[in-house]
Amino acid sequence: VVNWLMSIKPTPELALESHRKDGRGFYHNTTGRLICPVEYDWSNVQANILGFDADYTVTTDSWPRFLYKSERYDPNNPVKGLFRNDLLVQAFKHIFTSLSSANSVDDIDQEEGTSTEPLLKRQKGLSEKHTQAHVAALLGMKSVDPRAIAYTAVQLHFALSSCNAWCLIDEDFNYVKFYKNILLFFEDTCTIQEKDEISDLLYWWNRFASQFYLQATTNTCFVSSVFGRSNTSVYHPQPVEKMSVASTLRKRRERLAARGKLPMV
């Protein structure tokens, strides 16, 4: 992840180090912006977040910016671009396919609806050789499913954070609940149109992840949440219903209702 971030143009002013994490997370402008809740303007809240300001807590009630295409969040249409971020796809390919495939992200950021040649058809160079079966093959994966996307998002968030050792709860951010919220987004579909929207998203994923076949699977399985809070003694409950996770699901319902598509019981 550090190599990807350091290869972007312009290069981050403060270099990131691959062998240490204490300079990542909200201590670095690039990683901080990526994991910043979409409701906040990163350029104005870094000091508040680092100072544990109770009005600027970072919880799983907000989607982090790295989940959105081009990191752009539209509060009036919070579903737009969600889970279509190129860094997220890179992380997925790094985990489940190969290091070289993770570097092939051309065309990912094109506007939706435009045609582009699948990455699978890109001609391999002489230096690109198959060495061993990738993780997806070893697991028998035939397609990209919501669980794989959720797992990738968790791993990417942890990689971007300043936390040096894996833990279920990093300050106020609960990784188990984060995973659950992502599954809920994919699986809480009540109408045919909602299911079609998720199928389109999974089609997009399968198309750009390459080496996979189209197969949208959304089996339900929720893990138990673990709650907790540390490093601050004063807690101000946030209006969770107004934040991006709840807003994403609510806007989906409102849009369908406006089109006369009432949820099926």
* pLDDT tens profile 225-260: 222 233 222 334 455 666 778 788 777 777 777 776
Q: Which residues contact 265 (CB under 8 A, 6 or more apart)?
A: none
How many C-beta atoms lie closer than 10 Å to residue 78's C-beta?
22
Tokens read off for 126? 């002489």
pLDDT tens for each residue of 81-104: 999 999 999 999 888 875 554 455
Tokens read off for 124? 């391999």
pLDDT of residue 166: 86
First to last CA, the chain: 43
b/e map of 112-123 (b: 16 or more CB within 10 Å)? eeeeeeebeeee
148 within a domain of the structure (yes/no): yes
49 within a domain of the structure (yes/no): yes
- Mean pLDDT of all residues in 212-233: 30
76 within a domain of the structure (yes/no): yes
pLDDT over 70, % of the chain:
67
Tokens read off for 189? 């579909």
Tally of CA atoms within 13 A in the half-sphere of 181 that contains its CB: 24
Say yes or no to pLDDT of 27 above 60: yes
**Residue found under tokens 């990209």:** 144
Tokens read off for 96? 């489940």
How many C-beta atoms lie closer than 10 Å to residue 102's C-beta?
19
Separation CA 79–CA 248 (nearest Å): 6
114 within a domain of the structure (yes/no): no
pLDDT of residue 191: 80
DSSP string, 176-188: HHHHHHHHHHHH-
Question: When comparing pLDDT for 9 and 164, which is higher?
Answer: 164
119 within a domain of the structure (yes/no): no
pLDDT of residue 218: 34
pLDDT over 90, % of the chain:
29
pLDDT of residue 209: 58
Handedness of CA 192, 193, 198, 202 (dihedral sign): positive
103 within a domain of the structure (yes/no): yes
227 within a domain of the structure (yes/no): yes
| Residue 152 DSSP code | H
Number of domains in the chain: 1
Confidence category of residue 4, pLDDT binned at 50, 70, 90 = confident
Average confidence score pLDDT of the chain: 74
Among 45-49, 129-133, 191-195, name the most confident range: 45-49
pLDDT of residue 231: 27
Three-state DSSP string of 60-94: CCCCEHHHEHHHCCCCCCCCCCECCCHHHHHHHHH
The whole model's pTM is what?
0.69
pLDDT of residue 249: 76
Q: Do the beta carbons of residue 212 and residue 142 sit within 8 Å?
A: yes
218 within a domain of the structure (yes/no): yes
Q: In terms of residue numbers, what domain contains 23?
A: 2-109+134-258
The lowest-confidence range among 5-14, 74-83, 140-149, 180-189 is: 5-14
**Residue found under tokens 């051309």:** 106
